[in-house]
A and B are shown apart, each in its own frame.
Chain A
Amino acid sequence: GAGVSQSPRYKVAKRGQDVALRCDPISGHVSLFWYQQALGQGPEFLTYFQNEAQLDKSGLPSDRFFAERPEGSVSTLKIQRTQQEDSAVYLCASSPERTQPQHFGDGTRLSIL
């Protein structure tokens, strides 16, 4: 596609529910990043994929967060047993390779009630 596509744009869930957020990167982009952006803050790194390999997951805040990219294109970020502090915008970014500028999607705004 023309840009990075994320779905859903908005997600409301009750505390304790599991959620799955989808990212469709720009076609052919090898590198894929997930970031979390709290209100009024800059994005914070969560995890990085090179093709289907998850090379860095040092930013995932807990073992409730899980990400995958099984075929090296679409990626899914899953949050289990959601908590209120998980409320944020989750941004996905892709680049042709890791040293190129990252192109961001519009994000998924997650609200946990």
Chain B
Amino acid sequence: GQNIDQPTEMTATEGAIVQINCTYQTSGFNGLFWYQQHAGEAPTFLSYNVLDGLEEKGRFSSFLSRSKGYSYLLLKELQMKDSASYLCAVRDPRGRGATNKLIFGTGTLLAVQP
């Protein structure tokens, strides 16, 4: 089966650091993605991990442990504009044509407070 879990909501303070966790149990795995989605807008690609370890990209970092089925997104120096939903997605290489479709979690709604 396919199961991706992430917290529904989180609150953090401007300037602080927040870690959003994601655990997954999927039949296939070909990488894990994090997307940011503001209300009414398109999901925007943030990061991609296919090997274990930490990927850093400016204020955003993402970590993956394939053996534990676990990832986290770390946001540093939080800004008000970071208030959004953060979607964890596993790429599934199976299926006719090796689709590599994304299987998403329900998203974590992050509220950044002054």
State the A residues within 8 Å of B (CB).
3-4, 33, 35, 40-45, 48, 50, 53, 55-56, 58-59, 91, 98-99, 101-107, 109
Contact = CB atoms under 8 A, between A and B. Distances in A.
A99 to B, nearest CB: 6
B104 A103 contact: no
Interface string B40-63: 111111001000000000000000
18 contacts: A40-B107, A41-B106, A42-B107, A43-B102, A45-B99, A45-B101, A55-B96, A56-B96, A56-B99, A56-B101, A59-B101, A91-B42, A91-B43, A103-B45, A104-B42, A104-B43, A105-B42, A107-B42
Interface of B: 4, 30, 33, 35, 40-45, 48, 87, 89, 95-107
B25 to A, nearest CB: 15
Given A98-B99, A104-B43, 4 more contacts: A43-B87, A59-B101, A98-B100, A103-B45
Contacts of B40: 106, 109
Contacts of A41: 106-107
Contacts of A106: 40-42
A48 B99 contact: yes
Contact of B45 (A91, A101, A107): A101
A109 B100 CA distance: 25
Contacts of B105: 42
A99 B97 CA distance: 12
Contacts of B95: 56, 58
Contact of B102 (A53, A55, A102): A102
Contacts of B44: 104
B51 to A, nearest CB: 14
B96 A101 contact: no
Q: Point out which of B40, B100, B107 has the most chain A C-beta atoms below 10 A from its C-beta.
A: B100
B55 to A, nearest CB: 13
Contacts of B45: 101-103
Nearest to B95: A56
B97 A55 contact: yes
